[in-house]
Structures are given as structure tokens and as C-alpha cells.
Amino acid sequence: MLACAGVVLDGIVDAIPRFENREKVTVGTLHGQVAIITGGTRGIGRATAELFAAQGATLALCARSQEALDEAAKQISGAHGIKVFGRSADILDATAMADFVKQVTDRYGRVDVLVNNAGGSEQRQAAGSRQQVYAVDPLGGSPLPPGRFEEMGDEEFLNAFRQKVLALTVTMRAVLPWMKRQKNGSIINVVSMKGKQPPPRVVSSSVAAAAAMNLSKALSFEVAEYNVRVNVVALESIVTSQTEKSRQRWAPDKSMEEFLAPRNVHIPMHRLGQPEEVAHAIYCLAAPLGAYITGQVLCVDGGGLRSW
């Protein structure tokens, strides 16, 4: 699957827009398309919103903070001259999310791309942790106590499933009638690479991410005949605002470089990824470049996945 994605990426690398070239783009590849990005105010969602905007998409963003949405909408539309609709909605509130999608379709009359990105890195921390747990951790070095599985409550599983399975389902259900009618649509679900490479003792979020991958694959079969594609971008170790929060929480006496050094050793590229690098992967799957790619999991992890 990775090899397949690699072939595609090799062929299109020159066609991938870069932020510094955006002023040269006259009509972007997403011109005329409406894209919903959940969690579009910062981190990976924000980088994706900027890249989509540079490519001419009309945007609809949600997050919990209306203030952050207003600020993001102002900055993005000011920089790229495109429309941005931002409305506060919590992905855990199914009614609010269905209402958000309805407001988008009432306003724009279509929806071509859905990026299910919202969620916090704090979900990757688990009770009993001595530090954050990563999919690239060496097997013998888990910071979680042995026997944790036996003590784990149902609520931890249910929380992970609410975040990474049910929340995705609500938005996908709401956009699919539009995409099927249009005979055009691309859904990208952003989850942790732990769904493919589960670190021991943190099974709840790993299992939820794996379920999101399975759900995306199953749905891709169902909607392919409508020219609607469903893919997953699976992440590990991307620098966002959470990275500094994690340093403050787990190693306040260390510099960022010292804090990241032990993790970098286990990432083949020996560095964390940037949100813009994830945005490029999401863009490849959203844009016409990815027109024949569906049902795939594209890992953006600096090579951290130990299998292929």
C-alpha cells in the first residue's frame, strides 16, 4: 500500500504546490470546490486550510473556540482571497456537527472535500503514564506500568471510540448524500499511526485508530461507484502546539531539543514532522491528483512504521 502511494507521490512531486509559490497560482486545483476541515484553527488542520486556500478552495472550518475560528477565517481569507466560514462545533456533539454541515451546505450548496482532523494530542496520554506514549517507542521502553490492561476501564475505550470513530461517522454521514449526488467527493480521516503500530499498554487509542482505518476502507468500497473516495492519513510525531505543552508537562527542565532527542532516535528520519508536511499529504488525497486513490492509509511518520 505504501509502495503504491510512493509511486503516485514520485510522479506528482513537481505538481505539489508549495506555500512560497502561492502568489504564482492563478486558478488553484481546488478552485470551485468546497472543503470542510474539522479542527482548522491550528496545527495540522490550520496548515491544511492554508494550503487548500492557496489552491482556491472555499473553506468551512469548525473547532470549539469561536474566537479562534473568527481569527483564522480573517487571516486565511485575507491572505488568499477566498471565502472561509467558521462555526463553533464540538466533534463529540453529534447534533452540533450535523447542524454545522447543514449550515455549510445551505450556504455553499455543495461539499467536495471533508477532512476529519479535529482532536487533541492529549488523547494520546494515558492514565498511569510517566511520559507521553509514541508508536515509535521501543517495545521494552513503555512508560506505562505493566498490568495496565487489566485495570483499564470501559470509559477509556469509549472515549477513544467517541473521538476517533463516532465523530468521524457523524460528519461522513452528513456529507455523503451531497457527495453522491455531485458524483464527486474526497474524505480524508486523520488518525494516529498507532492504528497500524500499537504501542503496548495504550490499546484504547490504538484500537480506535485501527477501527477508523477499517471503517474508511469499508466505506471506500461502498461509495466508489459515486466517485467518492475515502482515505486515511495516519500520523506520528508531528510538531504542533501540543509539542511544547508536552515538554512543559513531562520535561519542564529540558530544552525542546533535549526533550525530543530520545524520540528522534527511534524515527528513521531522526526528526519530527511539520504540519505543512501533513497538509501536503492530505492535499494529494483531496485534489484531482489523487483521483484514483481510495481506501488507502498514507502514513506521514518519518518512516516510523516498522512494516510495509
Footprint on this chain of ligand NAP (rule: CB under 6 A): 38-39, 41-45, 62-65, 68, 90-92, 117-121, 123, 190, 192, 235-238, 240-242
Of residues 120 and 182, the one with the C-beta less far from ligand NAP: 120
Bridge partner residues of 187 (DSSP): 114, 230
| Smallest gap from residue 94 Cβ to ligand NAP (A) | 12
| Nearest of 205, 215, 191 to residue 281 by alpha carbon | 191
Which amino acid would we find at residue 194?
Answer: K
| Smallest gap from residue 242 Cβ to ligand NAP (A) | 5
Of residues 119 and 185, the one with the C-beta less far from ligand NAP: 119
Give one DSSP letter per residue of 59-120, joined into a string: EEEEES-HHHHHHHHHHHHHHH---EEEEE--TT-HHHHHHHHHHHHHHHS---EEEE----
Of residues 31 and 245, the one with the C-beta less far from ligand NAP: 245
Q: Which three cell numbers stand for residue 184?
A: 464527486
| Smallest gap from residue 270 Cβ to ligand NAP (A) | 16
Does residue 61 contact residue 34 with C-beta atoms inside 8 Å?
no
Q: Using CB atoms within 10 A of its CB, is residue 97 exposed (0-12), middle (13-18) or buried (19+)?
A: buried
Distance separating alpha carbons of residues 146 and 32, to the nearest angstrom: 53
| Smallest gap from residue 135 Cβ to ligand NAP (A) | 8
Of residues 184 and 285, the one with the C-beta less far from ligand NAP: 285
User: CB neighbours of 225 closer than 8 A, spacing ≥ 6?
Assistant: none
Strand order in the sheet with 58-63: 84-88, 58-63, 34-38, 113-116, 185-192, 228-235, 297-300
Of residues 29 and 280, the one with the C-beta less far from ligand NAP: 280
| Smallest gap from residue 103 Cβ to ligand NAP (A) | 15
Of residues 33 and 41, the one with the C-beta less far from ligand NAP: 41
| Smallest gap from residue 61 Cβ to ligand NAP (A) | 8
Of residues 120 and 128, the one with the C-beta less far from ligand NAP: 120
| Smallest gap from residue 237 Cβ to ligand NAP (A) | 5
The three-state secondary structure class of 157 is: helix
Of residues 80 and 124, the one with the C-beta less far from ligand NAP: 124
Give the C-alpha distances (Å, rounded to integers) separating 254 from 250, 251, 257, 260, 261. Answer: 9, 6, 8, 9, 11
Length of the chain: 308
| Smallest gap from residue 92 Cβ to ligand NAP (A) | 5
Distance separating alpha carbons of residues 106 and 51, to the nearest angstrom: 24
